[in-house]
Chains A and B, each alone.
Chain A
Amino acid sequence: MTIGHDNAYTVVIMARPASLGEFEQIVLLAILRLGENAYGVTIRAEIAAHTKRKPVPGALYTTLDRMEEKGLVVSRLGDPTPQRGGRAKRYITVTKKGRVAVISAQRSYRSLLQGLGLLEGANA
């Protein structure tokens, strides 16, 4: 956000990225991996495939609601399908704010991991 400028300089304040919990990061990364096809079922499957733990639906939907309230994701309704009893899918997309938040969180992890060698050698 630009708060003031003159001929000499421009002051820009970068909004602080939203803080994320571990599960929120996992969900955001799963949505980013899925791209256009991210909805409840595929997000759970993606998380299960990569983390070997299947989140319970209640936890996933409340997390998605919370992240939507925080402006980290947005949703849109797809078309109703017969396999779903005529109900539409709610597709989720990560917003710019969500992307910035997940990048910031991952940078912090990477910075903390640096020099520890935990992901090298026998642990790789």
Chain B
Amino acid sequence: MPNAFWPEWIIARLTDRSRAAAIVGDLFEGAAEQGTVWFWLSVTGILLSLSWRSLIGSVTGFFGLYFVHALPMPLYSVHAVHRPPELWVPFFGFLGALCMVLWVAAPYAAVRYGFRDSFAQLALMLCALVTTVIFYWWIPAVDVTCLAVALSILFCSGLFAEWRRAFLALAVALALGLGGVRFIWELSLVSATLSSRIRDSLPLFAVALQTTACGWMHRLLFQPNQQGSGIEPAA
């Protein structure tokens, strides 16, 4: 019988523990007939099947961060012409940080969960909204439209359970992401004392943190039935 500790441990990272144990148990039954090579090939296939969306989502999130990293220059030129009032500067600082984490979270969620998923839809909407506000805040019609959209999102989040869950999951995931960005910012301030390898890996760390937070929250609020059972027989 093959040693299944590591396969089960890795599969449990991608799904829940009882599910991982059941999958490995099934593979044990199959391995009795089809052999050890089949067992390991199946483990590899299952790992790929369970993780490919997450991996590609993380890569997309990294490209999102790369894109948002290129935004400050055009943003400075916009804000040089349309300088925001002094009181608004902290608000724009917050929106800038929010924009950064949203540009990681939204592409990740779209790839990982698909466009039909309310969490992904909300992340994409907020990403577009925040980016638009930052760049076009000086056009009154844009401000009014964005405010109306933001209020509609809040209204829908209060009204529908699905959107409420999405809003809560995204809010917590973004808070964790913002905390991570803050931590990375503090680290970058002392980056002169860090090795170049660590300094270069800070954006990767930010993406990993944000995507992991999104994954956790989505799993917690959208896939609670994967943790347990309860039979509802077919009628």
Set of chain A residues within 8 Å of B15, measured between Cβ atoms: 65
Interface string of B29-48 (1 = CB under 8 A from A): 11010000000001001111
B148 at the A interface (CB under 8 A): no
The count of residues in chain A whose C-beta lies closer than 8 Å to any C-beta of chain B is 34
How far apart are the CA atoms of A80 and B48 in the complex, in Å? Answer: 26
Interface string of A60-86 (1 = CB under 8 A from B): 011001001101001111001101110
| Contact (Cβ within 8 A) A87 B50 | no
| Contact (Cβ within 8 A) A65 B226 | yes
Give the one of B18, B24, B47, B229 with max A CB within 10 A. Answer: B229
The segment out of A7-15, A91-99, A109-117 that lies at the interface is A91-99
How far apart are the CA atoms of A64 and B233 in the complex, in Å? Answer: 16
Set of chain A residues within 8 Å of B28, measured between Cβ atoms: 83-85, 87
Q: How far is the CB of B9 from chain A (nearest CB, A)?
A: 13
Known contacts A58-B42, A61-B46, A62-B49; A98/B234 CB under 8 A? yes
Residue on B nearest A80 in the bound complex, by CB: B25
B27 at the A interface (CB under 8 A): yes
| Contact (Cβ within 8 A) B229 A75 | yes
A41 at the B interface (CB under 8 A): yes
Q: How far is the CB of A101 from chain B (nearest CB, A)?
A: 11
| Contact (Cβ within 8 A) A77 B22 | yes
| Contact (Cβ within 8 A) A74 B225 | yes
B199 at the A interface (CB under 8 A): no
| Contact (Cβ within 8 A) A57 B42 | yes
Residue on A nearest B43 in the bound complex, by CB: A57
How far apart are the CA atoms of A90 and B18 in the complex, in Å? Answer: 9
B176 at the A interface (CB under 8 A): no
A32 at the B interface (CB under 8 A): yes
Interface string of A18-51 (1 = CB under 8 A from B): 0000000000000010000001110010000000
How far apart are the CA atoms of A77 and B19 in the complex, in Å? Answer: 9
How far apart are the CA atoms of A58 and B29 in the complex, in Å? Answer: 15
| Residues 176-235 of B at the A interface (beta carbon under 8 Å) | 222-223, 225-226, 229-235
| Contact (Cβ within 8 A) B234 A85 | no
Which of A77, A87, A93 contacts B232 (CB under 8 A)? A93
Binding site for B on A (CB under 8 A): 32, 39-41, 44, 56-59, 61-62, 65, 68-69, 71, 74-77, 80-81, 83-85, 87-90, 93-96, 98-99
